[in-house]
Structure 1
């Protein structure tokens, strides 16, 4: 076999075996590296390169070495699950960088971080003042976690006592101007429905880059031409407006009628409709 062909075969074999080992080790080594995983990754890469170009030694020697190195992260993860001491040694501990709005200089020196490094990490977390930070620490993975002080945290519907509907995952029913039948069927819809919605919006399907349908059955469109804006769905707003108008009409009837019986009926129905509006508001107001 020519040398160049031997190198091609060895390189492909090394890549395939590396892929298999990576699948065995798991996703964690890709997501974040511990000390051992970092060392193992460099070592396996070097062995794979040696395996591809060194044609004198037996191929299985390199395969055995790569396998042994790949088993180290698996063994360390198993021991880490069983012992916190091992977990602290292998994975390390988090380091507090900021506490009560004050930088801990000794811990910054321990992690070899400058003030500029910390400020950069804070800005990535939308925190621009150290005084606004209640707590910040460097995780074992090297990421910096930031907790803002209560008065500086974003306001949520929970803070305001507003009930909102659960988050819903929309389904992509149009991609690159092509209607996707399977997502439509999963939502109990069909092409006739989507063609009707497109006709309401005055948009041709071939002009749609992406179309999504939420759980409420509203179609959101993103067109190829960014200068054009597809009309937003109005069904929820119209439903809420109709309910409020009906409730207002009932209150008006209660005020205008001279019959005490009808006045009581109108008032009771207006109150019932108001309760219904309050229940449906989180789902109709998004």
Structure 2
């Protein structure tokens, strides 16, 4: 960890102010630590609206899947897992860059690969173009306050390139390995920034984010590349992250976490009886070169 980064056990949290936005000490904290927490960024009714729309998308997905099953026979649900990475060779996953698609939790399956619970309670996430094709999420990303924040980010020409709803289902919401967002959405120079909006309270018990303060100063460890229709990880430098030094980023509903694309972060399995829904948006600088072997390629 960079010596300039002060050790923190509990991350500092900031409040949003419309005029002039975030104070300079907030952005200094972001520069030093690689993340920034903004309390109560959006009101709870908006969180409820976004969760309601996510539920409607999942219900529609399940109905379509059940109809396909009746017409065509058994089809395996597509599982999203950062441990086993079953989705790496899936066309359903690759094509989700320009669509809205649902992925299942690995722990929702039994030993025979069957789903012994309602599909609606087994979804890992929705991705990856909610902001482009769903009217409710499209309206949200056009929100004045959100765009006021985006315009303060260190991006010359900010562009939302990816959007997801992460469910972190009760008991089965799987762990997400320590990673850097820039590994998946790489530009030269690196520019990706993540906006992680808590649609529900995120606590240690239900699987909040953990981050390594100052870890973004170590550079990029890996890249997730696409070749011949499949994805694979390429090592760029040998970095071993000390996850024991990570701190939990516990936040309340409506709060926003800004993540530097090089910041190592992860989340643990949800062992509680409460879900931990979040909306994530990833932005890049359109003035930077977005590589053609990135997995996510947007069709204009």
Larger radius of gyration: 1
Higher relative contact order (CA 8 A, sep 6+): 2
TM-score, with structure 2 as normaliser? 0.19
TM-score, with structure 1 as normaliser? 0.19
